[in-house]
Amino acid sequence: MQKLLEELKNNTPTSASQACSSVSMSLNKEETLSVTSKTLSNNISEENQQSGKTGQDLRVSVLNMRGEPLMPTTPGKARHLLEQKKAKVISRKPFTIQLNHQTGETKQSIKLGIDAGYKTIGFSAISNKQELMSGEVILRENVSKLLAERAMYRRQKRSKLWYRPARFLNRKKNEDWLAPSIQHKLDSHIRLVEKIKKLLPISEVIVEVAKFDIQKIENPNIAEEQYQQGTLYEYRNRIAYLVAREKGLCQFCNKEYMKGNPWRLHHIYGKERDRPEDWALLHEACHDEIHKKHLEETLKGKPSKSYKDATLMNTIRWKLVDTLGCKYTYGNITFQDRIDLKLEKSHINDAFVIAGGTSQKRCKSFLVKQVRRNNRCLQCNRKGFKPSIRRKHYGLQPYDIVAYDGKEYYSKGVHCKGTYIRIFNSLETLDINIKKIKLICYGKGLQFLPWSLKATL
Ligand SMILES: [Zn+2]
Ligand SMILES: [Zn+2]
């Protein structure tokens, strides 16, 4: 250990107090050990901090004395600060430290890209040089089921009363009412952005609102900042629109997109008629064939389709932009940028591109799991009564972080009337007597888990 510390001192610049991320120390696995183990007894494996997608280490978020986020730092520097007692740990997942001395606060501009979705949200925060935080949020999908359950309990409870005042047709819905499961998804997006804003000094949030810009298709004369990106942008926008309208099928051969055979926009009645209903979506090969063999007539006279851009996800995305007051972009731009950068399709890569990422050094990703807090007011606020539905609330709940045998595990839940607990990490799943377990911290709300757990969830 002593040797390790000396080695560290030689490697660490003396101006370590200024928590700035611009210096990327080359850390091997040995050196990054023991940032988190300080709070634990001895030598708890740091495998959680290390694991994840390939790339640089996860960054450590740094807060100043007032609790505001500063530029994140490397695990090595964070350990240095902790050893010198210049900072304290305030959160384990994601690992966050708070400085207890004044520093110069140089902040770079950090852009946060959000790839909104039904089941998963991708997020990526980038500075000019590197990606600082990225990950994928798995949203809860049991909201409507739980509401149905709650309605059942309430109905049953009401049926036991003597006098039951009329309780129908007395609810008013707001104009911007969304179904609870959808509202929950919107709220989760906002909560995620707020959480990340507490960890990183985000200067700009960017959300992808739709696959293409429908306004540009309908009123091609709109002149705005974003529209002045030349004809290539417009062409891609039109292709994205056509793909959505034709449900991804070629209008000549009725087949899906083929690799190496890009989409082409064909003007059915020649270039003079340039309205959306005069466009056709064709494979490049099919388009060439039509013009070579003069088959243009086959596409004429078909009823023109119209496209209504009214999917729920689009509503959510626009509401998100309204609530956050953030910037937005379109999917056709994202798609093309991702192809240009030769990135594979994933929510995180999409978010990276949405944030405007190009050559930034990528970082390891978090897997963010949304865990119920179980604090329904009906259950917690029964004056003088115990909760009625949950007869017994076990001390350890799923996703609480526990220590066993000097290693860190996540709880999967208790069984055998609370005497045994099932714990897991990326390597193993164990059933252990609950007395052998030590709680490290509770896991409620948005849980930042290592990416390696993706297979076990
Ligand atoms: Zn075709
Ligand atoms: Zn053509």
Q: Are 363 and 132 in contact (CB under 8 A)?
A: yes
Element (H, E) at 329: strand 327-330
Q: Are 114 and 103 in contact (CB under 8 A)?
A: no
Q: How far is the CA of 159 from the centre of ligand 2 (A)?
A: 69
Q: How far is the CA of 254 from the centre of ligand 1 (A)?
A: 6
Q: Which residues surround ligand 2, an ion (CB under 5 A)?
A: 266
Q: How far is the CA of 247 from the centre of ligand 1 (A)?
A: 13
Shortest-distance ligand to the CA of residue 255:
1
- Token look-up 């959160």 returns 91
Shortest-distance ligand to the CA of residue 282:
1
Shortest-distance ligand to the CA of residue 281:
1
Q: What is the pLDDT of residue 19?
A: 37
Q: How far is the CA of 242 from the centre of ligand 1 (A)?
A: 14
* Amino acid type, 426: S
Q: Are 330 and 213 in contact (CB under 8 A)?
A: yes
* Amino acid type, 109: S
- Residue 71, class by beta-carbon neighbours within 10 Å (0-12 exposed, 13-18 middle, 19+ buried)? buried
The half-sphere exposure of 142 on its side-chain side, counting CA atoms within 13 A, is 6
Closest listed residue to residue 116, CA positions, set 176, 181, 190: 190
Q: How far is the CA of 401 from the centre of ligand 2 (A)?
A: 61
Closest listed residue to residue 311, CA positions, set 205, 211, 186: 211
pLDDT, block means (10 residues), the chain with 457 residues? 41 37 34 35 34 58 89 90 91 88 82 89 92 92 89 87 81 84 91 92 89 73 50 78 84 83 85 82 89 83 68 81 88 81 88 89 89 70 66 78 90 89 90 91 87 81
Q: What is the pLDDT of residue 381?
A: 66
Q: What is the pLDDT of residue 122?
A: 93
Strands 110-115 and 120-126: antiparallel
Rounded to whole angstroms, what are the CA distances from 320 to 190, 313, 331, 335?
7, 10, 16, 21
Token code pair at residue 86:
């210049």
The half-sphere exposure of 109 on its side-chain side, counting CA atoms within 13 A, is 7
Q: How far is the CA of 157 from the centre of ligand 2 (A)?
A: 67
At residue 112, φ and ψ (nearest 5 deg) are -110, 120
Closest listed residue to residue 343, CA positions, set 107, 334, 144, 245: 334
Token code pair at residue 117:
């979705």
Work out the end-to-end distance of the chain between its first and last CA atoms, rounded to an integer number of angstroms. 35
Token code pair at residue 322:
């309204």
- 3-class DSSP state of 313: helix
Q: Are 48 and 403 in contact (CB under 8 A)?
A: no
Strands 420-424 and 110-115: unpaired
Q: How far is the CA of 307 from the centre of ligand 1 (A)?
A: 21
Q: How far is the CA of 245 from the centre of ligand 1 (A)?
A: 15
Q: How far is the CA of 342 from the centre of ligand 1 (A)?
A: 25
CB neighbours of residue 276 within 10 Å: 17
C-alpha 416 chain-centroid distance = 36
Domains defined along the chain, listed by start:
2-99 (no CATH), 110-140+177-210+312-368 (3.30.420.10), 214-299 (3.40.1800), 384-457 (2.30.30)
Closest listed residue to residue 139, CA positions, set 123, 119, 114: 119
Q: How far is the CA of 296 from the centre of ligand 2 (A)?
A: 8
* Amino acid type, 239: I
Give this complex's ipTM: 0.90
Q: How far is the CA of 277 from the centre of ligand 1 (A)?
A: 18
